[in-house]
Structure 1
Amino acid sequence: MVTADAAHTQHANCAWLRRRNAHYIAVVKASHPGLPGRLKRLPWTDVRLDHYDKATRHHRIEIRRLKTAAFRHLDCPDARQALRVVR
């Protein structure tokens, strides 16, 4: 399992990992052409909430929500799920 920040979320990097039978989690930001828009268009309102956490940390209230959506194709090698984290 490999995790990558947005700088490494490139098609070639993901394909290289998959050729080596590795699984990956990659952060997507606006620097990746087209991918953030495709992720936004997933039906997030229909996806159930997987995790909710509310805690006081660093003198403030922090709320985190996690949703997981499955899909067929998103132009990322062998990607089949998207995770949405809202903080």
Structure 2
Amino acid sequence: MATKKSAVITIRLDASTKDEAKKVFEALGMDMSTGINVYLKQVVRDQALPFNPTIKDPLDQATERSLQDLKNGRYEDFTNLADLFKDLHHDH
């Protein structure tokens, strides 16, 4: 049985991202190296990123949805703050 050669890669990332990723991988029962290997194997298998990259900020996307809701009449009108809070706390 032939053994595969190992390759070493070096990446730079901020310490916070590294620490948070490490926590996620550990919660999944793997170390950082295994987690990165899983990610890269998924990329190779699918010939694509395992997520849809976008240049839009999530806040921009929420704003776009809100503007569409307004345009299509999907909104509530309130005449006072008490009614607004009542609606916010009401289970729909």
TMscore range, shorter length: under 0.3
Greater strand proportion: 1
Q: TM-score, with normalisation over the residues of structure 2?
A: 0.23
Higher relative contact order (CA 8 A, sep 6+): 1
Q: Which has the larger radius of gyration?
A: 2
Q: TM-score, with normalisation over the residues of structure 1?
A: 0.24
